[in-house]
Amino acid sequence: MSARIGTDLRSAADLLRKGEVVAIPTETVYGLAANAFDSAAVLKVFTAKARPSFDPLIVHIGRPEQLDHVVKELPEGAERLMKTFWPGPLTLVLPKRPEIPDIVTSGLDTVGVRMPAHPLALELLSQLDFPLAAPSANPFGYVSPTNAQHVADQLGEAIPYILDGGPCMVGVESTIIGWEGDGWKLHRPGGVPVEELEAVIGAVAVAQPRILPVAPGQLESHYAPRIPVLLGDVEQLLAEHAKERVAVISFRQDYDAWRTAVLSPSGDLAEAARNFFGALRALEASGASVILAERLPEEGLGRAINDRLRRAAAKR
Ligand code: AMP
Ligand code: MG
């Protein structure tokens, strides 16, 4: 099989109705989608990605009414969050309805759900009478895809169709928060800055890691290119690795290295997020033997980027 890349919504919808998987654009990263009500279709997502069954998928809806078949109840603040941030990069973890099969949620009694803000994804969802379960469209543990070619490079042989919606406008995955009885807890920093959430629902604590990992946040190595990533003081790391072909990923500053990817010369965190995963891929492909990286400011989208950098640099 070799994936076709195109903008044909009808082909994408037909394949999904037949229980196939299709890569779809969202504003965060590209997703690998299947009918969320069809266990056999969802299993193909796990197989194509070599994703472990303990890592649950996010369910994508295209209209608010679809929530009735996904979640059992809306806790305090949920409606305000949806009104403020949907469509957009915010996933809510809520009590699930029985229609959502166990394979989607890894057997949890909660489900992650969001409405994506990409026009093509919304148009596709409007043509379907089921929501789409979709994780990022990359092999498990590897760098997330932010354009259609990234998906083709990694999963092209494993899936039939890639719906091309251009480069992703946010560039990092959704923020995930879950209701835990006494308040909202952060499972993963992402495209909606925590500061913006807190302006709507008050303080958001960080969720306790579970024994079984339920979020990439709890799997240490993730978002990882195939060459080592070292996170720290770049000048010092450059001195230590002077004899190697070194690539640097930096926020605004240029460094004297074999290759440097500057994420945003003007210091704009949203631009940095948009460029981040593509930069990791380009540096990996550059022939460098190691990638050195510096932390970004721990605020706004910087928090999401730092989270990805930390995991890309984690021991494998
Ligand atoms: P991905 O789309 O590849 O970033 O993966 C989806 C992520 O959503 C999972 O790794 C989990 O972190 C999160 N998620 C989905 N459903 C749940 C849930 N019921 N409880 C906690 N986290 C969830
Ligand atoms: Mg992922």
Residue identifier of the C-alpha nearest atom 16 of ligand 1: 112
Mean pLDDT along residues 128-132: 98
Residue identifier of the C-alpha nearest atom 2 of ligand 1: 135
Model confidence pLDDT, tens digit, residues 4-24: 999 999 999 999 999 999 999
Model confidence at 220, in pLDDT bands (50, 70, 90)? Answer: confident
pLDDT score of 209 more than 90: no
* Cβ of 56 below 6 Å from ligand 1: yes
**Residues paired with 58 in a beta bridge:** 112
* Cβ of 136 below 6 Å from ligand 1: yes
The pair of three-digit structure tokens given for residue 218, joined into one six-digit string: 């709890």
pLDDT for 87: 98
Q: Which architecture does CATH list for 229-313?
A: 3-Layer(aba) Sandwich (3.40)
Mean pLDDT along residues 283-300: 97
Model confidence pLDDT, tens digit, residues 88-129: 999 999 999 999 999 999 999 999 999 999 999 999 999 999
**Residues paired with 290 in a beta bridge:** 246
pLDDT score of 181 more than 90: no
pLDDT score of 219 more than 70: no
Mean pLDDT along residues 146-164: 98
Mean pLDDT along residues 264-275: 98
Name the residues around ion ligand 2, CB cutoff 5 A.
136
pLDDT for 215: 55
Mean pLDDT along residues 251-264: 97
Look up the pTM and report it.
0.96
Model confidence at 218, in pLDDT bands (50, 70, 90)? Answer: low
**Residues paired with 132 in a beta bridge:** 35, 60
pLDDT for 306: 98
Ligand 1 atom nearest to 110, measured from its CA = 19
Alpha carbon of 89 to ligand 2 centroid (Å): 14
pLDDT score of 303 more than 80: yes
For the chain, the average pLDDT equals 95
H or E element at residue 67: none
- Count of CB atoms situated within 10 Å of the CB of 181: 6
Mean pLDDT along residues 38-51: 97
Mutate to test the pocket of ligand 1, among 49, 58, 105 (most ligand atoms within 8 A of CB): 58
CA pair distance 215, 315, nearest whole angstrom: 17
Could you give the percent of the chain with pLDDT greater than 90? 93
Model confidence pLDDT, tens digit, residues 24-40: 999 999 999 999 999 99
Backbone angles phi, psi at 41, to 5 degrees: -65, -40
* Cβ of 282 below 6 Å from ligand 1: no
Ligand 1 atom nearest to 144, measured from its CA = 3
Residue identifier of the C-alpha nearest atom 17 of ligand 1: 112
Model confidence at 182, in pLDDT bands (50, 70, 90)? Answer: confident
* Cβ of 191 below 6 Å from ligand 1: no
Mean pLDDT along residues 153-158: 97
CA pair distance 192, 120, nearest whole angstrom: 20
Cα 26–64–100 angle (5° rounding)? 80
Residue identifier of the C-alpha nearest atom 12 of ligand 1: 215
Mean pLDDT along residues 256-280: 98
CB of 120 closer than 8 Å to CB of 128 = no
pLDDT for 213: 54
Mutate to test the pocket of ligand 1, among 55, 92, 177, 223 (most ligand atoms within 8 A of CB): 55
Please tell us whether the domain made up of 4-206 is placed in CATH 3.40.50.1360.
no
Alpha carbon of 96 to ligand 1 centroid (Å): 13
What's the maximum distance between 2 C-alpha atoms anywhere in the chain?
A: 59
Q: Cα separations (Å) of 2 from 12, 26, 174?
A: 15, 22, 29
Domain boundaries, the chain: 4-206, 229-313
CA pair distance 114, 82, nearest whole angstrom: 9
Model confidence at 57, in pLDDT bands (50, 70, 90)? Answer: very high
Mean pLDDT along residues 144-171: 98
pLDDT for 1: 73
* Cβ of 302 below 6 Å from ligand 1: no
Could you give the percent of the chain with pLDDT greater than 70? 97
